[in-house]
Amino acid sequence: MTKSGKALVFGSLAVCISASLWGLDGILLTPQLYNLNIVFVVFILHALPFLLMNFFLYREYKLFGKLTSREIIYLALIALTGGALGTMAIVKALFLVEFKDLSIVVLLQKLQPVFAIALAAILLREKLNRNFVFWASMAIIAGYFLTFGFNLPDFNTGSKTMIAAGYSMIAAFCFGAATVLGKGVLHNLSFQAATFYRYGFTSLIMLILVVVTGNLSGFVLATPFNWLIIVIISLTVGSGAIFLYYFGLKKVTAMLAAICELCFPLSAIVFDYLFHGKVLSPVQWASVGLMLLAIIRLSTQRRTAA
């Protein structure tokens, strides 16, 4: 395998692992913060990792003066979309369905690649070829059947479900946009710097929201168990996964990264089985196989990047 081929495989694997860690977070960790305000949760899950990053990435501050206005705008937009708005929207959607029905959140992950691929083609001019379109379509279709089987999505589980669907759509667009914007800024930034500034900008945005909305009381309302979960998320599936994600994103196209992120719903269903005993149906297992095959084919083929 050529050097570029190895980079493509390692990059795809890194994105898949980071997406799987987010699946673990959605099933096992974030639900434990249900008693806290959403704005405070999103703020502290960015502020604490950023504070820790300052101990070993403080040299990245010197880079700020060298950033172009375009790069600063990109970083701010990444923080606003993928960090602030996207995270608040997905957490809000989860809270609305009380973590009992993950179909809305998983549906979000089916829509995200659509937004990311469309934006990548428009903003980054990443080229689409028939082989990529075919396997990307197979991955998205497999993701649908993995979630819903042969049934249609059920939007009649309660009055809050449609609202949750709306938040999921917002989150899908925000995360898709963050993927594309992240790829755009990684041309000149290391994945460490991209992660550092993403968390820094997001922390600043969320701090303003916490103060404006009067949610600083979250520091007092959080229980010792809440703080334990916050620390675990911050050190592992939070900043750790983002570091890994940007490492992979630097080596692959935004379109391929969006497809690899389908490992989120895949891992969510697997973890749901491991921790909650929910068994997959035959059609879901078939979908798992098709999705993995599609991701492998997408990660091993070469395409022209922007």
In order of 140, 246, 295, the CA distances from 134 in angstroms are 10, 26, 12
Would you place residue 71 in the very low, low, confident or very high pLDDT band (cuts 50, 70, 90)?
Answer: confident
CA dist 29 and 32 (Å) reads 6
Mean pLDDT: which of 17-21, 107-111, 194-198, 221-225 is highest? 221-225
Q: Please write the tens of the pLDDT for every residue from 217-229.
A: 899 999 999 999 9
Count CB-CB contacts under 10 A for residue 136.
Answer: 23
Q: Quick one: pLDDT at residue 212? A: 95
Q: Which of 60-69, 253-262, 291-300 has the lowest mean pLDDT?
A: 291-300
More confident of the two residues 67 and 278: 67
CA dist 82 and 84 (Å) reads 6
Whether the CB-CB separation of 114 and 178 falls below 8 Å is answered with no
Cβ-based burial of 63 (10 A; exposed 0-12, middle 13-18, buried ≥19) = middle
Q: Which of 62-76, 82-96, 133-147, 156-170 has the lowest mean pLDDT?
A: 156-170
